[in-house]
A and B are shown apart, each in its own frame.
Chain A
Amino acid sequence: MNLNYTAEELAFRDEVRAFLDNKLPADIAAKVKGFRRLSKEDHQRWQKILSAQGWYATHWPEEYGGVKWTPVQKHIWDEESCRYGVPRSVPFGVNMVAPVIIKFGNEEQKQKYLPRILSGEDWWCQGYSEPGAGSDLASLKTRAVREGDYYIVNGQKTWTTLGQHANMIFCLVRTNTEVKAQEGISFLLIDMNNPGITVRPIITLDGEHEVNEVFFEDVKVPVENLVGEEDKGWTYAKYLLTYERTGLAGIGLSKAALSHLKQLASRRLKNGKPLIEDAAFSQRIAQVEIDLMAAGISNLRIIASVEGGGMPGAESSMLKVRGTEIRQTINDLARRAIGPYAIPFVEEELDLNYDGEFLSDENAAPLAAQYFNNRKLSIFGGSNEIQKNIVSKMILGL
């Protein structure tokens, strides 16, 4: 047993740090660290820098422009990224549809889409959930009917994250209603500029526009946009979900949020002393830090086993549940730390260019909203209840 990084891994970490020291734009890092929303332009600017470095596509084979990192290297990248305030890559293109295209797509699709994902020319979004198909995803109803060289698509997708920026959407559609639900689903790549597609914002409880509904009305999709075989989409969808699930534990993000919380608690006062010196509050922080330490090691154990050649299995479901609970606890504590100032919603202070006086703390404005927004962590990517079902079925045989 040896829990230390090797000399090569340490050298890699130094390389990552040097890159981030030199290339990460300060304004973007400040937004990430201060929990401000990133614009489309911020994401694209950073993606270009990453792509130029050759570090954008960490899940792809080198022949398509990916970078060959070991699971430990990916982990080091993730840790350092979170520490430095690197924006999370919008995953729908690079980490979700691309692995599916690489594994199941044909050569033309690879040639067409992968370079455009690398260059940032395409912004992808995910067409999975529907109003009637959430946890029970296989019950989806969006129909695609083959007519000559086209599929005619009708239906509705929902919770489409950042769909307002996207020009491409990958969709699970029903191509066969005669068979079992899982067996009549296909995986389609759809250009959002097609006539018949309408994107409507869903505003969340914190007032943000992050998710959307996407409506399809007689949308003509060329048959060459089908990935793999017709009616086999569920297999591809599940493959994609394993990619989605790894990383949802958000260990690095929790570490960043925890360090933010400690700084905040050192600035806020209770009884004339920094809140972090308050016995009860410091114990709450200590407790979540301990839980995070354990989850961090669990994460490394999964990474080490993947390094040995395995696929992440149901263990990543347990980690998703624990990891999201931990992050929600940190968000809860940050909201508590600002006391009565959790109540005002000072929208102008969310702007990084805000140059007025801060109502309470420079980082207070997003905290309550973020607490509410991150209730989503235990809902998306397979709700925590669904993750527990996976564990009880796959690991425990119940």
Chain B
Amino acid sequence: MDFRLNEEQQMLQDTVARLVRGEYSFEKRLEYSESELGFSADFWKQLGELGLTAVPFPEELGGFGGSGVEVQSVMTELGRGLCIEPYLQSIVLGGGLISQAGNGQQHEQWLGGIASGEMRAAVGLQEPQSFYDLNDVETRAEKSGNGYVLNGRKAVVIGGHCADVLVVSARTSGDSRDANGISLFLISSDAEGLERRIYPTIDGTKGCDLFLNNVKLSSNALLGEEGKAAEVIEYQAGRAIAALCGEAVGAMEVACDLTLEYLKQRKQFGVPIGKFQVLQHRMVDMMSELEQARSMAILAASVADEPQSDERRRILAAAKNVIGRSGQFISEQGIQSHGGIGMTWEYNFAHYAKRLIMINHQLGDDDFHLERYAALLQ
């Protein structure tokens, strides 16, 4: 048994690490975050030029044919740098859904551009009433002539404000929350009847809600088999969970490093505060949480691209539950260990804390995944 990355995987992670170190200071991130695009177009381009946006795609698209481990290596470093580029949305989720469900023509139309970073995808899988249940779909797609007409609303589409193509779920049959009857559609960002309400997010990126008002689509906008998208969505959400675990571990590593450094350098009562046992034990607890999260991230990465099974479902639910809890623990206890300074905008710790808490709100929080896991108990 060997938990280490192989040489190629290590090189990949080092490449991302170097790029992030060179390009992504905390100050620059604040600038990127406040820009209209909401991230760095230049950094995104560099990810593309180095082939990093193509990691999970097959070699003929310029990719590595990478699996969960490679994607997680990239995400870990993006997490360490607190990068706000839409890698998860465009490459892992958007690219993943199109790869798995798309036909040859759709692959040709979109995947090359997504893999190179020249095009960006975003995914609309949630709705205002859905909470974290991706089968809770009320947006309707009605057959009309040769195509479809879509009506409804998709919630919290991160990166949706600047995507060239949106992958959205809509119901072609069945009742809300039925797994059967959900279909996926590709919608071009300039489609008529598509409106967005754009907002910044609390963790420094941008997103939008999508309002679909009689959006007319041709039949080749249907991605995959009509009414059978639930399985595809679940599978790709699983890959994204493994990727998010990587991002979370990267962010937790830095959050722990920052806290440890602070405990050593901050003096009160004449000694570094790290001399106080209550803070020592808390720091140890934070590191233990990080280790738990690392272990589950590795496990999640190992099953991310395996065929679907209850075992894969269990592992991914467990992993998301663990990183949700450890991320919250490290955020809260890290702020507490810092005192007031840990709550300021000017110091990077708070931004790591905000990202970690919000990772828990993406693709289901620890409660949601605990429930999922419980339902799959053997």
A interface residues (Cβ-Cβ under 8 A, vs B):
129, 132-136, 139, 158-159, 202-207, 211, 268-272, 275, 280-281, 284, 335-336, 339-347, 359-360, 368-369, 371-373, 375-376, 378-380, 383-385, 388
Q: Complex formed: what's the CA distance from A369 to B354 in Å?
A: 10
Q: Measured between C-beta atoms, what is the minimum distance from B258 to chain A in Å?
A: 14
Of B143-151, B185-193, B345-353, the one contacting chain A is B345-353
User: Which chain B residues lie closer than 8 Å to A340 at the CB level?
Assistant: 126, 131-132, 155-156, 361-362
Q: Complex formed: what's the CA distance from A372 to B358 in Å?
A: 11
Q: Complex formed: what's the CA distance from A271 to B176 in Å?
A: 9
Q: Complex formed: what's the CA distance from A388 to B282 in Å?
A: 15
Not counting A202-B346, A345-B199, a sample of 8 additional A-B residue pairs whose C-beta atoms are within 8 angstroms of each other reads A136-B270, A205-B353, A271-B133, A275-B131, A343-B202, A359-B197, A372-B350, A372-B354
Asked whether A345 lies within 8 Å of B197 as measured between CB atoms, the reply is: no
The contact string, 1 if C-beta is below 8 Å from chain A, for chain B 137-171, is: 00000000000000000011010000000000000
User: Which chain A residues lie closer than 8 Å to B253 at the CB level?
Assistant: none
Candidate in B336, B351, B370 with the most chain A CB atoms within 10 angstroms: B336
User: Which chain B residues lie closer than 8 Å to A270 at the CB level?
Assistant: 131, 133
Asked whether B202 lies within 8 Å of A136 as measured between CB atoms, the reply is: no
Asked whether B354 lies within 8 Å of A205 as measured between CB atoms, the reply is: yes
Interface residue from A134, A135, A360 paired with B128 (Cβ < 8 Å): A360
Beta-carbon nearest neighbor of B346 in chain A: A203
Q: Complex formed: what's the CA distance from A339 to B339 in Å?
A: 28
Asked whether A134 lies within 8 Å of B131 as measured between CB atoms, the reply is: no
Main secondary structure of the interface of A (DSSP, over half): mixed
Q: Complex formed: what's the CA distance from A341 to B202 in Å?
A: 10
Interface residues of B in 200-241 (CB under 8 A from A): 200-203, 207, 209
Q: Complex formed: what's the CA distance from A26 to B351 in Å?
A: 36
User: Which chain A residues lie closer than 8 Å to B158 at the CB level?
Assistant: 343
Q: Measured between C-beta atoms, what is the minimum distance from A77 to chain B in Å?
A: 30
User: Which chain B residues lie closer than 8 Å to A341 at the CB level?
Assistant: 128, 155-156
B77 at the interface (CB under 8 A from A): no
User: Which chain B residues lie closer than 8 Å to A347 at the CB level?
Assistant: 200
Interface residue from A360, A368, A380 paired with B340 (Cβ < 8 Å): A380
25 contacts between A and B (CB under 8 A): A135-B268, A202-B345, A204-B344, A205-B343, A211-B340, A269-B129, A271-B133, A272-B129, A272-B176, A280-B370, A284-B367, A335-B357, A336-B365, A336-B367, A339-B132, A340-B126, A343-B156, A343-B201, A343-B203, A343-B358, A345-B199, A346-B199, A359-B197, A368-B202, A376-B343
B107 at the interface (CB under 8 A from A): no
Asked whether A205 lies within 8 Å of B361 as measured between CB atoms, the reply is: no
What's the A-B contact tally at a CB cutoff of 8 Å?
135
Q: Measured between C-beta atoms, what is the minimum distance from A331 to chain B in Å?
A: 11
B interface residues (Cβ-Cβ under 8 A, vs A):
126, 128-129, 131-133, 136, 155-156, 158, 176-177, 197, 199-203, 207, 209, 267-270, 276, 278-279, 332, 335-336, 339-340, 342-346, 350-351, 353-354, 357-358, 361-362, 365, 367, 370-371
Beta-carbon nearest neighbor of B201 in chain A: A343
Asked whether B339 lies within 8 Å of A135 as measured between CB atoms, the reply is: yes
Beta-carbon nearest neighbor of A269 in chain B: B129
Q: Measured between C-beta atoms, what is the minimum distance from B362 to chain A in Å?
A: 7
Q: Complex formed: what's the CA distance from A388 to B353 in Å?
A: 25
User: Which chain B residues lie closer than 8 Å to A343 at the CB level?
Assistant: 156, 158, 201-203, 207, 358, 361-362
Q: Measured between C-beta atoms, what is the minimum distance from B16 to chain A in Å?
A: 24
User: Which chain B residues lie closer than 8 Å to A339 at the CB level?
Assistant: 131-132, 361, 365
Asked whether B156 lies within 8 Å of A271 as measured between CB atoms, the reply is: no
User: Which chain A residues lie closer than 8 Å to B371 at the CB level?
Assistant: 280
Q: Measured between C-beta atoms, what is the minimum distance from A158 to chain B in Å?
A: 8
Asked whether B340 lies within 8 Å of A379 as measured between CB atoms, the reply is: yes
Asked whether B361 lies within 8 Å of A342 as measured between CB atoms, the reply is: yes
Q: Complex formed: what's the CA distance from A385 to B338 in Å?
A: 12
Q: Complex formed: what's the CA distance from A284 to B371 in Å?
A: 14
Interface residue from A129, A202, A335 paired with B344 (Cβ < 8 Å): A202
Q: Complex formed: what's the CA distance from A384 to B282 in Å?
A: 13
Q: Measured between C-beta atoms, what is the minimum distance from A125 to chain B in Å?
A: 15
Interface residue from B177, B342, B353 paired with A272 (Cβ < 8 Å): B177
Beta-carbon nearest neighbor of B200 in chain A: A345
Q: Complex formed: what's the CA distance from A395 to B199 in Å?
A: 51
User: Which chain A residues lie closer than 8 Å to B199 at the CB level?
Assistant: 344-346, 359
User: Which chain A residues lie closer than 8 Å to B176 at the CB level?
Assistant: 272
Q: Measured between C-beta atoms, what is the minimum distance from A177 to chain B in Å?
A: 16
Asked whether B367 lies within 8 Å of A344 as measured between CB atoms, the reply is: no
Q: Measured between C-beta atoms, what is the minimum distance from B128 to chain A in Å?
A: 6
Q: Complex formed: what's the CA distance from A204 to B338 in Å?
A: 14
Asked whether A205 lies within 8 Å of B156 as measured between CB atoms, the reply is: no
Knowing A343-B158, A344-B156 are in contact, say whether A204-B339 is a contact too (CB < 8 A).
no
Q: Complex formed: what's the CA distance from A372 to B176 in Å?
A: 34
Interface residue from B129, B201, B278 paired with A385 (Cβ < 8 Å): B278
Beta-carbon nearest neighbor of A208 in chain B: B345
Q: Measured between C-beta atoms, what is the minimum distance from B208 to chain A in Å?
A: 9
Q: Complex formed: what's the CA distance from A376 to B350 in Å?
A: 12
Q: Complex formed: what's the CA distance from A385 to B155 in Å?
A: 41
Asked whether A379 lies within 8 Å of B361 as measured between CB atoms, the reply is: no
Beta-carbon nearest neighbor of A348 in chain B: B199
Beta-carbon nearest neighbor of A380 in chain B: B340
Knowing A205-B351, A272-B129 are in contact, say whether A344-B343 is a contact too (CB < 8 A).
no
Q: Measured between C-beta atoms, what is the minimum distance from B92 to chain A in Å?
A: 17
**Which 6 residue pairs spanning A and B have beta carbons closest together?**
A205-B350, A136-B268, A203-B345, A345-B202, A340-B156, A270-B131
Beta-carbon nearest neighbor of A201 in chain B: B345
Beta-carbon nearest neighbor of A135 in chain B: B268
Q: Measured between C-beta atoms, what is the minimum distance from A124 to chain B in Å?
A: 20
User: Which chain A residues lie closer than 8 Å to B358 at the CB level?
Assistant: 342-343, 368
Knowing A346-B199, A379-B339 are in contact, say whether A139-B268 is a contact too (CB < 8 A).
yes
Q: Complex formed: what's the CA distance from A271 to B133 in Å?
A: 8
Asked whether B344 lies within 8 Å of A203 as measured between CB atoms, the reply is: yes
Q: Complex formed: what's the CA distance from A271 to B371 in Å?
A: 13
Candidate in B131, B336, B345, B346 with the most chain A CB atoms within 10 angstroms: B131
User: Which chain B residues lie closer than 8 Å to A284 at the CB level?
Assistant: 367
Q: Complex formed: what's the CA distance from A368 to B359 in Å?
A: 13
Beta-carbon nearest neighbor of A337 in chain B: B131
Asked whether B131 lies within 8 Å of A269 as measured between CB atoms, the reply is: yes
Asked whether A134 lies within 8 Å of B268 as measured between CB atoms, the reply is: yes
Q: Measured between C-beta atoms, what is the minimum distance from B351 to chain A in Å?
A: 7
Asked whether A375 lies within 8 Å of B202 as measured between CB atoms, the reply is: no
